[in-house]
Amino acid sequence: MSDLQQIKLAVRRFTAERDWQPYHSPKNLAMALAGEAGELVSLFQWLSEAESRSMPPERLADAADEIADVQMYLVALADQLGIDIADAVAGKMVKNATKYPADRFRGSARKYDDPPGTP
């Protein structure tokens, strides 16, 4: 069983034990996911690039908690929509490889529709 499958089953069990299924609609889960992603982002707000790469242990623990919250809501949302995350990621990686061929985008942060020469 994959790690994602184990997470999905654990989230299902946790939700069922609390009778939260009626509240876990795709809309509500997407909103909760956005909120948790915002909490994760807030941990990095105003940090320099260097500070964001070497956070103190307590801040890193907070980031781990927020990443866990994001992952749990994402897995729950995918479960409600019948989306296999691993399959979706594999498909999206194929699309990204087409949009961002390595020989044209290596070392560049530009978006696929930005003209060449854009940093």
Decide which of 109 and 92 is more confident.
92
4 has a pLDDT exceeding 90: yes
What pLDDT, in 10s, does the model give residues 40-53?
999 999 999 999 99
Domain map (residue ranges) of the chain: 3-83, 84-119
CATH T-level topology, domain 3-83: Helix Hairpins (1.10.287)
Confidence of residue 82 (pLDDT cuts 50, 70, 90): very high
pTM, to two decimals = 0.89
Q: How far is CA 36 from the centre of its chain?
A: 10
66 has a pLDDT exceeding 90: yes
Per-residue b/e over 48-77, b at no fewer than 16 CB within 10 Å? eeeeeeeeeeeeeebbeebeebbbbbbbbb
Confidence of residue 111 (pLDDT cuts 50, 70, 90): confident
For 19, other C-beta atoms within 10 Å of its C-beta total: 8
